[in-house]
Structure 1
């Protein structure tokens, strides 16, 4: 049998797949059975004609925040400050002794700015922290501001000040929501969707925290641990380079990139753009702004490159993307643009020329569609420009940015294929991808299941590449996908059998 190559159609008839150790060693019909002398002692799984694909990766997760989300006050449906305040008031009245941590409101769609004083009026002395759905600002009451040792003000806390304060939330709510047991539940759920690996961009924590979690049962999936500038000294002191196993642990958890948040977000109108926002009259910075100067950004990239660390540079606005790419070119650093939400056409070609990956989160477009049209207008044609990227040769790596979007690779793939969350036509359907392209962007560069490929596998109950009548139908099928089993390094981590 001629070995399959990437891009070849799947076999018409069922085949056997042999995994030995951490690798697939053979694929073909009629391989020796587990009882033979060639493959003695191998466990056999009867897949009953199901579809086997390389295991999925989520390339952008804030794992602690996602793990905590289930216990937070869900404000995603709040259409106004008044609705959010009513939910807070109800929670405080029900549990007056417990802090309120909310998540998910999208204040960019509200008709006014909020104040601390109105939150104080419904919360009293109960600490309240309401984190925006993009994670880039938080609306705190005075009690929470004081508890987290932050200056009292009557406005929200944004960007770098909020990122610095976030780790102190544990002093307010404790660590129960991010205990090893809670992490393990999150990892189990990810495995049930065919996920074999995650890139963790959590703001707090580091090597010591992962050593503790790993020993306490969180050694289920493959993890790449990132660092921010605040944790960089510890990483450099340990001599860790991107791809190195973390010390005292097995090779499934490795050092990832240096994460840099170079600009803000659409929802907070802090993404750095080449032109002003449509409602610039409301803004202190009409075009958004960078979080770092060009010199500061390049210094971080040089340090990372000098120490063999890749960089994951958050850049949402088109000006931020251009500056990030210029910084990569000036320093020789390698890595990714995280989000690349609005891009200029020429910058996509530059991304390809420099070999910089686009780490994309297609499910964001489902939430951001209407707001983008409102405040970026015709620039929406340059948003989530996945087709431009792929056609120009940019490597795509898909993820969720959980908890900004759910940790659900099938939702992300569906969004990339159809670009709509409702009955409306696809939003800029010219930028849509095919099911094969979104799957290829979700498997961490593993092009197929074949001899020599990794033993990271997902067994699906239906064909993810099945012919469909329209992108909408293909997206519906992807969202409905169910997983029968998942293996990491040849070891079963989930089974529905």
Structure 2
């Protein structure tokens, strides 16, 4: 950027109140060049460039760059996202044997415990087995977490270390759903000081992609974690934290209500929704569906799993809603989504369904009528298209139905589910718009949405266009998103990010 330049501007709390003029900006979908007047953390005016030249304020030349509202990722597991780069990467493995080879190399390097992440076994010709890991690891404990976070594959040494019996793991050494979640919480028990450093780095990386806020669904008591981080100077993101069933009583007793700011965090940390997981996932073949999964073995659940029975779900949602905590309910299979909509109707409250991957067409209108937000992750469609074609064969026209949801009047909120997909809203926007990746033909392109709609669903309620009166949470980008190709959207160059009018990222 030429002229007075934001780079090198520090992200201090005092900067939020400093008036700034962003001169020579372009707003996608509008004509002309404008100046953005920022003060008190808001966009106080949008004027034709050069029309007013207020004195005594900082002026920054954008040289015709585009400005959009700052981006929000509606669904993340932030601690796990921060840990991913420190774990054995299994994303490229195309078989159980390939994973075993990666583990063998890790053990050969002298690792005393192997924690891996990212395997997807839905299309493997060989199944995960405990013996395959034992053969390459010996007494080194190995815990491998699937890319969807709903399964863990362990060797015998890890089963002994974590006290997991054969009745849970079986011959395959695989834990699913609640058994997996309990183990993940145990291996995620990193010292606060260490984890906070990793989180701070991941937050800065998110800011570099234009991100100003996230909705956090880590399975922890997240309030104290984020208060501690903000107090230590992690101030580049707004965080809305979720509350799980194991913490619901505590949240109610402490008077937490969805949307309330947490004192002492300068408005950066707010209470989110009540997160409850009602089924599994597609890749683990545990998403609860009306039709059976083909080719499952003995002991598998042919229709997936209802992990929270309806007769328990309704009282839990009613208790949360009565205390002012909005339900945010995980549902992936079509039967899970239908039953969760039943629960929302029984409770008489609004909220969100997290994922909403496979739906009955009759349920689209119910989403809209009940005012339920579809919190969706478009990149999952790119990751799961082949798995869906195998296990949801004949039904993939009802999978990841973004266009049909939008046409029905349902509010969309885009996210990543990081670390399942990258914490990068431009990746989600590109997947929503193009329904393609890696040069493949678009998958069910009839479910693509327009860039304007995808952008609006990625800004935390700020819409697709910067307007006077809105928050000065902004992303300065190098390309017009409405004219960019899908590949250009995915790799959108972000020149700067502002939170409440202060720079949290700049290229220079």
Per-residue CA distance 1:283-318 (angstroms, 9 max, x = gap):
621111200110111111011101111111110000
**How many Å separate the matches in 1 of 2:321 and 2:51?**
46
Offset at residue 34 of structure 1 (A):
4.5
1:322 matches 2:338: yes
Give the secondary structure class of the aligned counterpart of 2:58: coil
1:64 matched to 2:40: no
RMSD over aligned Cα atoms: 1.7
1:355-375, CA deviations, whole angstroms, 9 ceiling, x for partnerless residues?
000001000111101111111
1:32 to 27, 34, 52: 52
Looking at structure 1, the residues matched to 216 and 263 of structure 2 have their Cα atoms a distance apart, in angstroms, of 17
Q: CA deviation at 1:250?
A: 2.1
Q: Contact 1:92–1:100 at 8 Å: present in 2 too?
A: yes
For the residue of structure 2 that corresponds to 1:118, the secondary structure is helix
Corresponding residue SS for 2:325: coil
- Which residue of 349, 360, 363 maps to 1:344? 360
- Return closer, same or farther for 1:309/1:462 CA change in 2, 3 Å cut-off: same
1:108 and 2:122 correspond? yes
Residue 479 of structure 2: aligned partner:
462
Output the CA distance in 2 between the equivalents of 1:140 and 1:218.
Answer: 35
1:488 aligns to 2:499 (yes or no): yes
Secondary structure in 2 matching 1:254: strand
- Structure 1, 200-209 or 184-193: larger mean CA deviation: 200-209
Q: 2:270 is paired with a residue of what secondary structure? A: strand
CA distance in 1, matches of 2:247, 2:161: 24
Q: Secondary structure at the match of 1:79?
A: coil
Which of residues 135, 143, 156 is equivalent to 1:142?
Answer: 156
Q: How many Å apart are 1:278 and its aligned residue?
A: 2.5
Q: Cα distance, 1:149 vs. partner? A: 3.0
Between 104-113 and 407-416, the greater mean CA deviation after superposition: 104-113
Q: Which moved more, 1:385-394 or 1:120-129?
A: 120-129
In the TM superposition, 1:233-312 aligns within 5 A as 233-280=249-296, 284-312=300-328
Counterpart position of 2:403: 387
Give 1:281 deviation, angstroms: 5.1
Supply the distance in 2 between the matched residues of 1:269 and 1:456 (Cα, whole angstroms). 39
- Aligned residue in 2 for 1:12: 31
Distance (Å, rounded) in 2 between the aligned partners of 1:407 and 1:81: 27
Whether 2:131 is the aligned partner of 1:117: answer yes
Partner secondary structure for residue 53 of structure 1:
strand
- Equivalence for 1:161: 179
Partner in structure 1 of residue 40 of structure 2: 21
Is 1:77 the counterpart of 2:92? The answer is yes
Residue number in structure 1 paired with 2:230: 214
**Deviations 1:321-352 (CA, angstroms, capped at 9, x unpaired):** 00000000000232111110000111111001
Displacement of 1:89 = 0.8
Q: Is the 8 A contact 1:305 1:332 kept in 2?
A: no
SS of aligned partner of 2:143: strand
The residue aligned with 2:381 is 365
Q: Secondary structure at the match of 2:62?
A: coil
Provide structure 2 residue ranges, at least 5 long, that are not aligned to the other structure.
1-26
Partner of 1:409: 425
**C-alpha contact 1:321 1:340 (8 A) present in aligned 2:** yes
- Looking at structure 2, the residues matched to 232 and 179 of structure 1 have their Cα atoms a distance apart, in angstroms, of 24
1:479 to 490, 494, 500: 490
* Number of aligned residue pairs: 476
Shift of 1:246: 1.9
Question: What TM-score, normalized by structure 2, do the two folds share?
Answer: 0.91
Report deviation, 1:282: 5.8
User: Is the Cα–Cα contact under 8 Å of residues 138 and 162 in structure 1 kept in the other structure?
Assistant: yes
Unaligned runs of 5+ in 1: 1-7, 469-473
Q: Deviations over 1:414-444 (max 9, x none)?
A: 1111111133321111111111111111111
The one-character-per-residue Cα deviations of 1:56-101 (angstroms, maximum 9, x if unpaired) are 000000000000000111111111111101110110110243x111
| 1:230 alignment counterpart | 246
Q: Which residue of 2 aligns with 1:3?
A: none
Distance 2:299 2:388 in 1: 16
Equivalent residue of 2:61, what SS? coil
| Residues 103-129 of structure 1: per-residue CA shift (max 9 Å, x gap) | 111011112432223312211221211
The verdict on how the C-alpha distance between 1:202 and 1:78 changes in structure 2, with shifts beyond 3 A counting, is same
1:27, 1:182 → 2: CA distance? Answer: 38
Structure 2 counterpart SS, 1:45: strand
User: What per-residue deviation string (whole Å, max 9, x for no partner) do you get for residues 224-251 of structure 1?
Assistant: 0111111212211211000111243221
* Equivalent residue in structure 1 for 2:466, among 420, 440, 449: 449
CA contact 2:28–2:480 (8 Å) conserved in 1: no
Greater CA deviation, 71-80 or 232-241?
Answer: 232-241
